[in-house]
Structure 1
Amino acid sequence: MGSLYLVRHGQASFGAADYDQLSAKGHEQCRLLGAYWRERGQRFDAVFTGTLRRHAQSLAGIVEGYGEELPAIALPGLNEYDSEAVVRAVHPEPLAKPTDPETVKQHFRLLRTGLLAWMRGESQPQGMPAHVDFHAGIVDALARVLAVGVGRQVLVVSSGGPISTAVAHVLQAPPESLVELNLRLRNASLTELAYNRERFHLVTFNTLPHLDSAEARGLISHA
């Protein structure tokens, strides 16, 4: 069996004008993950990322902690959906930036509604592909992992949407479950899939072994 390690990017800049930028906390989350793997002698035969800035910055943080380069192939199919476009498709009126608990709750309520509408083909967020095409990009990335070969160790650095889509695809889960998986993913979290020549199997989901200490628990974040 091979192993696929799916890592959600570190904490980005939620609520800021440019979300696609790792925060200092996000960089440290990723650096500690790289150090965790270095200490355990983890090796990787292939690395894939999305093409977003936060994906490249997260891999850079992992590399810093890991202590050696991890050459990666960037795949647009591993990029995240546009959450603002998803929300606007079901709530076109202007919304305040999610900067306090109430507006954050409102954002995620609308995001849940918007994601379900997009997945069911009931809405088409501006500037985004149809969900069937988004899903196809994730399936293509999984096929590339299978092509690396059985017994290999593969790292993917991406976002919550692609990772939850990959897990839901493997589990044949319905849209409602996919959305709940998506909204539970923590920053710099680790999801592991085992694979043979034909299929993937879920091993772990949304774990943070590199932050499992009294000193590091303050780094745990979601958005």
Structure 2
Amino acid sequence: MGSIYLIRHGQASFGAENYDVLSPLGFQQSAALGDYLKQLGVRFDHCVSGELNRQRDTAKATLERMAFPQQSQLSAIEIDSAFNEFRADEVIRAHMDDLLAVEPQAMQIFSNAANHRAEFQRLFTYIIHRWVSGEHEKEGLESWASFVDRVQAGLHRLLDQADRKDHIAVFTSGGTITALLQLIIGVPPIKAFELNWQIVNTSLSRLKFRDRDLALASFNSHVHLELLKNPELITYR
């Protein structure tokens, strides 16, 4: 059987003007992952990343520490937008008026999220529940169902191109991993998102495949961070 390693990006710049930038800690997490995979002797036959900066930079930083030669490492990363994260900022904006009706302070909390992390998470969870339910569709906004279809199309492309014993790395995001979990283990989307909130930056989730048959072999492993015995390395955004 072959293996697909779903790798969540390193810590991004939560609360900054541009979230899609790896933080210094995000680069440190990526390096730790690369060192760990190198020690295990893991070699990837195929590496794919979404097109977001935090995904691509996690891929580059990880593969560099796995001692891939610079030029071949760069050319080895295939970019596939199917593995992009859903546009959380667009989801929030589309549902903001509805949220303000029940949470008048929502705008202030979202505009200063870094200083209101617990309140941000509570309100963001409320919005995500509305979005994934399919009962509050917004014109021009990618629906949860469409997002899952996009991710599934990318997965099928991977499987159709793979050899039977390939080891494939997919550098992606928490929402994308959540969509794949829903597809593979059949949990309702709300339940899948309960797992999403637990996905650690640069964690590994492993799928085993034979043709298009898939099974979840492991979820959210972050041993590479735990071994460093620094709790600050374990982050969720």
Q: TM-score by structure 1 length?
A: 0.92
* Conservation of the 8 A alpha-carbon contact between 2:156 and 2:212: no
Indicate the residue corresponding to 1:112 in structure 2: 125
Aligned to 2:48: 48
**Counterpart of 1:14 in 2: which secondary structure?**
coil
Question: What displacement does 1:191 show?
Answer: 0.5
Change (3 A) 1:126 1:104: farther
More helix by share: 2
CA distance in structure 2 between the aligned counterparts of 1:206 and 1:5, rounded to whole angstroms: 10
Bigger mean CA deviation after superposition, 90-99 or 200-209 = 90-99
Aligned length: 221
C-alpha displacement at 1:60, in angstroms?
1.4
C-alpha distance in 1, partners of 2:210/2:32?
A: 29
Structure of higher CA gyration radius: 2
Hey, what does 1:11 align to over in structure 2?
A: 11
Q: Is 1:222 equivalent to 2:227 in the alignment?
A: no
Deviation at 1:134, TM superposition (A): 0.9
Q: TM-score, normalised by structure 2?
A: 0.87
* Whole-Å separation in 2 of the counterparts to 1:201 and 1:212: 26
Look up the match of 1:84: 89
1:99 aligned to 114, 119, 126, which one? 114
Question: How far is the alpha carbon of 1:138 from its aligned partner?
Answer: 0.9
> Is 1:206 aligned to 2:220, yes or no?
yes
Is 1:140 equivalent to 2:153 in the alignment? yes
Structure 2: gaps spanning 5 or more residues: 101-106
Aligned to 1:192, which of 206, 211, 216? 206
Residue 77 of structure 2 is matched in structure 1 by: 72
Contact 1:8-1:189 at 8 Å conserved across structures: yes
Q: How has the CA–CA distance of structure 1 residues 51 and 10 changed in structure 2, closer, same or farther, with 3 Å as cutoff? A: same
- Gap change, CA 1:90 and 1:106, over 3 Å in 2: farther
For structure 1, the residue ranges without an aligned partner over 5 or more in a row are none
Kindly provide the amino acid, as one letter, of the partner of residue 187 in structure 1.
Answer: N
What is the aligned-residue RMSD (CA, Å)?
1.7
Deviations 1:117-163 (Å, cap 9, x if unpaired)? 22222334676422222111111121122121221100000000001
Matched residue of 2:197: which SS? helix
**Matched-pair contact (CA < 8 Å) for 2:94–2:141:** no
* Secondary structure of the corresponding residue to residue 168 of structure 2: strand
- 1:155-170 paired onto structure 2 within 5 Å: 155-170=169-184
- Contact 1:90–1:113 at 8 Å: present in 2 too? no
Q: Distance in 1 between matches of 2:138 and 2:20?
A: 19
Distance 1:216 1:62 in 2: 19
Residue of structure 2 equivalent to 1:34: 34
Once residues 217 and 109 of structure 1 are traced to their aligned partners in structure 2, the CA distance between those partners, rounded to angstroms, is 23
